[in-house]
């Protein structure tokens, strides 16, 4: 089986089924999240309050990853992952109904409840998503599989951004969007039943109190592996999610501050997702790239973001305009190109980190390792939301916050260069295994 997967890792039924269900899940999440973002930015609150409530929504989505991931990781290591995926996808149908009602009602409270509920569902699926790849794909293909998973996630963001944003433009579109969310959830359930379980007995103990209720012991087990080298990999991945959460949550507000309307915001969000997918694909294709270049990607990202922040700070406020007018402005065009470069660098930076984490951790503990990763990602993303809320509360503007983020990314690059330099054995092992 492994030989067959090595030859055609993405053209066999097993991989395509996994690929489809994770894509559909990410797509549905982003349909809802981006519709909520557009509603908050342009319809439900004032422009002055938009940045704050966007940060609240982003924080509520990622908070469950911090609270639930340890338990989810232990469950995924203990039971058959495919059976857990099916239960998670069945639960998504109910969550899709909740999200549909919240969008149609356009009540801010229920929109935030729906976003939080989707975060809970994603937190249970997260540890399984990358832990199952090594069980279904040959080691020599892990980098490509991770690139496809990561890239497709951001393509799902692309499509979710386009359709979710368009769906929030008027009440009729919201109705169509709500129906679409339910349909996508049903398709995800169907895809989950195309993946064959590896065992037939694990599900009989799914409700065992010893495992099912062992939250604190699950938390302890997750953190036990911090010192074996995976900890610094997890932090390096979390740095990326801190940057991404900060930028993605503020893109609609950033567009608005430059004078772009809802359509421009949709184009920006979609372009960011597409460029990240291109970067992830490039990293999987360019096998000659070295681990030692991870810090360089961050350093370049900091410089590009600093340029975008400076241009935005100098821009004069103006009335909201359509894309044809917005992109005719040199400053708006240059900031857009900067954003595309940042997303491309993000893809180059993140994909190898996931692959190495899979290699570093024994098979029986991979889901818990990715649960640890999700906990740290959530902590950093919650920190992002809190930092943004604090910044806005003391009167800072988004260009000023973006400038501070650029400085922080440069400091992150120095940390990555230092810590990865201390783990040359880990880097060498990654290079050796990629050549097998």
pTM assigned to the model:
0.75
Could you give the CA distance from residue 205 to residue 223 in angstroms, rounded to a whole number?
Answer: 25
| Residue 229 confidence (pLDDT) | 63
Give yes or no for a contact between 108 and 114, defined as CB atoms under 8 angstroms apart.
no
DSSP string, 146-173: HHHHHHHHHHHHHHHHHHHHHHTSSHHH
What is the phi-psi region of residue 429: left when phi exceeds 0, alpha when psi lies from -120 to 50, beta otherwise?
alpha
| Residue 374 confidence (pLDDT) | 81
**DSSP for residue 238:** H
Could you give the CA distance from residue 277 to residue 284 in angstroms, rounded to a whole number?
Answer: 11
**CB-hemisphere CA count at 13 Å for 230?**
25
CA 83, 84, 87, 88 dihedral sign is: negative
What residues have CB less than 8 Å from 387, skipping those under 6 apart?
A: 246
Could you give the CA distance from residue 242 to residue 224 in angstroms, rounded to a whole number?
Answer: 24
Equal fold, 8-196 vs 228-424: yes
Domain layout of the chain by residue ranges: 8-196, 228-424
At 79 the three-state DSSP class reads coil
| Residue 90 confidence (pLDDT) | 93
| Residue 205 confidence (pLDDT) | 41
| Residue 421 confidence (pLDDT) | 59
CA 69, 73, 74, 76 dihedral sign is: positive
CATH superfamily of 228-424: MFS general substrate transporter like domains (1.20.1250.20)
Smallest CA-to-CA distance from 294 within 402, 377, 418 is with 418
* Six token digits for residue 114: 């729906």
| Residue 56 confidence (pLDDT) | 84
Chunk the chain into consecutive blocks of 10 residues (it has 436) and report each block's average pLDDT, rounded to whole numbers: 45 75 89 87 75 80 81 80 89 92 88 91 85 77 78 78 81 89 92 73 42 53 61 84 87 86 82 84 69 79 94 80 85 92 90 79 76 82 85 90 94 82 48 47
Give yes or no for a contact between 351 and 143, defined as CB atoms under 8 angstroms apart.
yes
Residue 260: strand pairing partners: 321
Could you give the CA distance from residue 345 to residue 333 in angstroms, rounded to a whole number?
Answer: 19
Could you give the CA distance from residue 162 to residue 324 in angstroms, rounded to a whole number?
Answer: 17
Could you give the CA distance from residue 142 to residue 21 in angstroms, rounded to a whole number?
Answer: 18
Q: Look up the CATH architecture of domain 8-196.
A: Up-down Bundle (1.20)
């Amino acid at each position: 089986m492994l030989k067959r997967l090595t030859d055609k890792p993405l053209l066999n039924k097993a991989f395509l089924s996994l690929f489809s269900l994770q894509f559909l899940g990410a797509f549905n999440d982003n349909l809802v999240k981006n519709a909520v973002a557009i509603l908050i930015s342009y319809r439900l609150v004032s422009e002055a309050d938009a940045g704050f409530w966007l940060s609240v929504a982003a924080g509520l989505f990622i908070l469950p990853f911090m609270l639930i991931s340890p338990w989810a990781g232990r469950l995924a290591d203990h039971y058959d992952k495919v059976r857990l995926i099916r239960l998670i996808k069945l639960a998504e149908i109910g969550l899709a109904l909740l999200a549909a009602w919240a969008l149609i009602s356009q009540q801010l409270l229920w929109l935030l409840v729906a976003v939080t509920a989707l975060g809970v569902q994603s937190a249970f699926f997260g540890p399984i998503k990358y832990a199952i790849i090594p069980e279904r794909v040959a080691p020599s293909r892990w980098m490509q599989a991770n690139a496809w998973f990561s890239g497709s996630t951001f393509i799902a963001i692309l499509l979710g951004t386009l359709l979710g944003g368009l769906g929030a433009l008027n009440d009729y579109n919201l109705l169509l969007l709500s129906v679409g969310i339910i349909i996508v959830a049903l398709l995800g359930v169907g895809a989950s039943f195309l993946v064959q379980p590896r065992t037939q007995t694990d599900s009989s103990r799914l409700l065992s109190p010893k495992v099912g209720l062992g939250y604190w012991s699950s938390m302890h087990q997750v953190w036990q592996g911090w010192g074996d080298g995976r900890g610094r990999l997890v932090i390096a991945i979390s740095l990326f999610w801190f940057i991404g959460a900060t930028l993605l949550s503020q893109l609609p507000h950033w567009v608005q501050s430059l004078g772009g309307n809802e359509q421009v915001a949709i184009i920006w969000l979609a372009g960011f997702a597409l460029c990240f997918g291109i970067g992830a694909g490039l990293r999987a294709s360019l096998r000659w790239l070295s681990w030692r270049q991870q810090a360089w990607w961050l350093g370049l990202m900091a410089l590009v973001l600093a340029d975008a922040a400076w241009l935005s700070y100098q821009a004069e406020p103006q009335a909201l305009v359509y894309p044809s007018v917005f992109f005719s402005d040199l400053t708006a065009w240059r900031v857009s190109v900067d954003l595309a470069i940042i997303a491309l660098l993000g893809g180059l930076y993140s994909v190898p980190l996931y692959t190495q984490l899979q290699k570093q951790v024994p098979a029986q503990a991979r889901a818990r390792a990715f649960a640890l990763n999700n906990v740290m990602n959530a902590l950093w993303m919650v920190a992002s939301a809190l930092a943004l809320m604090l910044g806005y509360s003391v009167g800072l503007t988004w260009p000023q916050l973006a400038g501070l983020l650029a400085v922080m990314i440069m400091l992150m690059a120095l940390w990555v260069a230092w810590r990865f330099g201390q783990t040359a054995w880990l880097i060498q092992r990654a290079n050796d295994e990629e050549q097998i």
